[in-house]
Every structure is written in C-alpha cells, then in structure tokens.
Structure 1
Amino acid sequence: MSAVSTPMAPWRGLSPAVWILVLARAVNKIGAFTLPFLGVVLTVEFGASLGQTGVILAVFGAATIPSRLLGGQLADRLGRRRTIVLGLTGCAVAQLWIAFSHALWSAVLATILLGFAFEIYEPPSQAMIADVTDPEDRPAAYGLYSAALAAAGVLAGLLAAAISHWDLRWLFAADAITCLACSVLVALTLPNEAREPKEPTPTVPVWRDRRLMLLLAGGTVFATIYMQLVIGVPLTLLEQGLPKSGTGIILAVSAVTLIAAQRLLRVQHLDDFRAIATGYVLVAVGLVVVALAHSLAIFLVAAVLWSLGELFLLARYLTQASGLAPEQARGRYLAVFGLSWGIATTIAPLTVTQLLASAGPAGLWLTTAAVAAVLAVLQPWFRKRLAPA
C-alpha cells in the first residue's frame, strides 16, 4: 500500500487496520483507570498493610515484563489479531477476579494474573501497525497511536474521578467491560494477517542483535525520563504548595498539545535521528522550566514544551524498532524494545524520590534535563551504530 502524508494531514491514507487498532487501544486506555487505585483497593478493601501493598504492586510490575515478551512471541507465532484478543480477554478476567474477590489472597492472585496479561496486546498492536504501513508512513501511524492514548488518558482520569465516588471495585468491573468490548472489536473488524509469513522462523537471534540492544538502552533512558515526569510532577506540585488538581490540568494540556501538534507541526520531513535530537532538546528545555516553576501557569508552559518533545520521540523510537526487525520477528523485536517501559517503571520511582529528597525539585529536574541534553548530542553517534551493517 502507499499512503501520502502531508504536513497538515499526516494521518490521511493510513490503513483502516491502523484506525481500528488506535480506536481499540484508546477505548481500552479509557477503561484502564484502575491502576492508580489498585493500591488503595488492596489497602482499604482487603486490609493489606502499606508494606504488603508495596510488595504486591512490585510483583505486579515485575509480571508485566514477561507479559510483554510473551506478547511478542505469540504475535509472531499465533498471529497479531489472536494475541491481541487473548491479552485483552486475560486482562478482563483478572479485573473481574479482583472486583469479586473477598479475601486478600484472592486479590493478590488476581493482581499477579493481571500483570502477566497486562502487556500481551502491546507488541502485536505495534507490530500490526508496522505490517500494514509503509516505512515512510510509520511515524504518522505511531504518532496517531500516541496521540489517541494521550487523549484517552485524560478521559480515563475524568471517568475514574466519577466512578471512584462509589465502591472502588466498580472501577475494575468497568475496566473489564472495556477490555472485552475491545477484544470483540478487534476480533470482528481487524483483517486477516495475510502479510505475516505462514511459517514463523524461530531462529532469528533477537537478543544478539546489537543494534536492538543499543536502541533498547536509548529507549530505556527516554522511558525513564517520561516516567519521572509522570511520577515526579505531582510530587513537585505538592512540594511547591500548588493544588493537587493541577496534575489533571497539566495532563489535559499535555494531551491537547500532542494532538494539536500532530496536525500542525512539519515533522514528517525529518529523519528519525534529527527528530529524536529535536525531541530531546524540547524535553530538556521543558524540564529546565519545571525546575524553575513556582506557579501552575509556568508548569503548563513546561508541559507544552515537553509534550512537543514527546511528539518527536514516542513515534520515532517505535519506527526505529520496527525498522530493525525482520518481518517474521517483528513482534519479538518490539516486545524486547518495549521492555524499556518495564525497566523505566522500576527505576523512575527510585530516582525521583532519591533526587527529590537529596536535591529538591530543582535538582531532580535539572539533572533529568542534563540527561535529555546528552541524548540529543549523542544522536549522530547513535546514527552510526544503528546504520545497517
């Protein structure tokens, strides 16, 4: 297929399969408002201590790592569509199990199951987008994917605020319903995977691909910066004595920026490395503004800047990872690259809390800005190492 992308209409001509995947993932994201409340449910509803809750959530996070690897394996062997349906259905079963649990041990088992199912659908979704788009259209396709998730995240927060006034278990029931709805949508509307090879080739040395390992390292740094913003900005607002509601406003501004900039910025003509360097520069500037911010208005300016940077970074890293992969191993390559988010989710809480305690908000964000600036400077070096052999 061939799709023509213009600066003002970067999504025109994308495959219908891309739009279906984006819609399904966005609906699922809207329903995925349970995670911030999982610790509360374990503590309040099931009587877990704070220490027990921390261990349970850590086990959940650890379970998401093999979950993503399993999703990559199944995507290449079982097929993209079947794997997406399997992952979404698994999430729904686990969510319903949590909702109807009456003892802590039962909720813990359900939480572990949720972790093992949680990331299964990501690698096949990302791989299918690469399957049905030409290389030059992948930045636009992955950009649409990221923008839809950003918008859905804002709606998720609003729904969570509304439903959380009732029994918190209803959150998990609602999330299960959205997972099942998405699995039905995917099963009924996604095309057959004719572009996939009939016989998978299990001998592709995914873990011995040095370029993939280098890309994983760079992607992990980016994901850690991203997760530090997610975790650290609310804490920074508290440190500055600003209202808690400011976090929701910042998230909304970030989502609107991502969506609007997708339509307005002329980013398609940049190659991946120039786009990534530009993204890191914007993120670094935004982080410096955060370090100096003492009012919500300044935080909103910073949010616009780092969100513009994320626009360049999110889609281009996925484009690079899918471009490295042989078609018969694309799911596994994207699964391995996606481990960057599991690693970052483990690292970011430690770096944020340690830097906040030792250096304060300014030290946290100036250090993070320096890391982003270094990544921008290193892009010519990455270009040489990631070039085809």
Structure 2
Amino acid sequence: MNILNAILGVIVVFGLTFWASNNRRKIRYRPIIVMLVLQTVLAYILLFTSAGEVLIRGFASVFEMLLAYAADGINFVFGGLANEGQMVFFVSVLLPIVFISALIGILQYTRILPFIIRYIGLILSKVNGMGRLESYNAVASAILGQSEVFISVKKQIGMLPKHRLYTLCASAMSTVSMSIVGAYMTMIDPKYVVTALVLNLFGGFIIATIINPYTVDKDEDILVVQAEEKQSFFEMLGEYIMDGFKVAVIVSAMLIGFVALISLINGIFNGIFGISFQGMLGYVFAPVAFVMGIPWHDAVVAGSIMATKMVSNEFVAMLDLSSNQTLSPRSIGIVSVFLVSFANFSSIGIIAGAVKGLHEKQGNVVARFGLRLLFGATMVSVLSATVAGIFI
C-alpha cells in the first residue's frame, strides 16, 4: 500500500511540476530517473536497514554531544533562567546555533569544508547532468546557509542567466543549513532530519530539471569560489560566533511575530467562521498530505501543520507537530520529512535580499520569480516526504 501511495504522490508531483515547466521539450528524463532511484535507495538504507540506523544514530549522537558542549557555555551565561525540568526555547533550542556556527567557522578556516563541498559537488554534477556551479551551490547551501552561500559565488552572480540563477536559489530554499540541524533534532526525530537532508539534495535537482530545464556548455561551466577575506583565527571565530547569535535572535524574533500573528488570525477566524485559520488551511492542504502517503483521518491535521510551515516557517510548524497528540507515527514521520527545508514565504525575501546585496539587478530578477521558487521548493519537500513514506 505504501508503494502505491508513493507512486501516486510521485505522479502528482511530476504532473504539477511538468505543468509549471518553462520549457517541457528540454526536460532530460534520464537524470531524473537516476536521481529518483537514488532517492529511493537512500531512503531505504536510512529508514529500513540496520546500517542506516547506525549511520543516523552516529549522526544524532554527534549532535547530542555538540548540544551538550553548547549547554556548558549557555548555562554559564543563562544558568538558572529556566526552572529545573522546563525548557526555554531560546536557551535550549536556538542558542546552541552559536556554538555550531563557531565549529563551521573553524572547519571553513582550516579549508576542510571547502574541500568537502567542492568534491561532493563534483560527484553530484556527474549524476544530475547540471553544471558544477549548481552542484557546488546545493552542497554549500546545506552547510553554509541559504543567504551565506551566495557570498561564496559572488564573482559569478552578475554573469548568470535567469535559468541558472533560479537553480541556485531553488537549492538554497530546498535545503537547510547545518548550523540549525541540531535545533531541529530537539523537536523532531533525528532520523527524519537526516533523511530529509539527503533526499532534498537530490529532490532539488529533480524538480529544477523539470521546472527549469537547460544544459550547460563546458565553456560556461566555470566554478569560481570567492575566497574569504584573510583573517586571523580569532577574528574569524568571533565573526562566526556573532553570526550564529544573529541567526538565533532573528529566528526568535520571527517566531514571536509569526506565532502571535497566527494566534491573532486564528482568533479572528474562530470568531467569524467558527474554525481557526490553521484548521481551514488544513482542509486546503489535506489532499497534498494524503498524496504524500498520510492516512486520510490524519490528513487535515497534517495539512494544517504543513500550511503553517509555508505561511510562517519550519520552526513554528515543528513546535505544532511536537505538541500534537493525535497523529499516527507514520503521519508524524512523513510530516517531519516535509518540514525540514526553508520552503516558506519569508525565504523569498531572505534569498532575494542576499542576492540583491551582492548584485542589485540579479536581486530584482530573483524577487520576480519568488513565488515560482517557493512552488518548486515545496514540491521538493512533497517529493522527499513521499519517497520517505515508502519506508515509514
């Protein structure tokens, strides 16, 4: 039954993206099939085998250890802020981002991350049939973040045609940065976080190949990565620590605003229509949830959480999911995979702003295809959740 649900889900996703394609004749089906098979195999390994269980447990234990170390620094500054046994979201979930950001800075400074990103990107480019720049950008987005990644290729931003720029932005919106993976793992099962990270990497290329098909000539496939400004070790460390703190504060501010606004809108809808705004969106997104493999009796609640992610962000949706007591384990797993990406309305502004800061004209181009970008990134999340659903 799970396989039949997945086939239906894949057909719907491919049908919608084919309908939205800007050049159906140029779609290359061979790399799409190869990447879909790879997605399925990787989902099977991660969710259905003992080897995958060991890999995920190892990955999760590393982040548990990092979060424990981060807690030492947090407790030194904020110890006693929360009552024992209680969790203050900002302190326990967001502030560890500061420590993980510092570690990413050290790996960047020692040239370990650039090496990993380049060569994983090179391997990916052989699979997806796209350029080295697009493949590099997809891997770098998953490590550096959706806005920071554009700084590393800023020399090429101004020279990129619209179709290649779209793929770069789509990769940035379809993935999540490594600095906040630990925060996700405190709210949803780590195995779904890891699975989503892997599947979204290929899913981003699958959907971009259908929506935005093109080929890159060898003489155009030039990857020039902007070297970071030479800094001393402690200058770099201070910068990454401050960047991590800024991310934690920005996410906190967005959560305060979005949670309060959703609460206000829910109150208004309840007063006028007798149903909350999230409840109404649940009915709108229920068919999508069902297509992903979620049982119909859970589809409305699941659709509500999925819609919350799109109109606010993944943190708000994960909080809703973690507090939900009605969804079945299968539904929780599929929704969890769906939530692990930056596919929401606020990301359009973040990505357009990041590109605009580097190149005014290209930033305007990104803003114009913003909704198309969100549609593609959402289809990536639906596809990843559908494939993962075979093994949940």
User: How does the TM-score come out when normalised to structure 2?
Assistant: 0.28
User: How does the TM-score come out when normalised to structure 1?
Assistant: 0.28
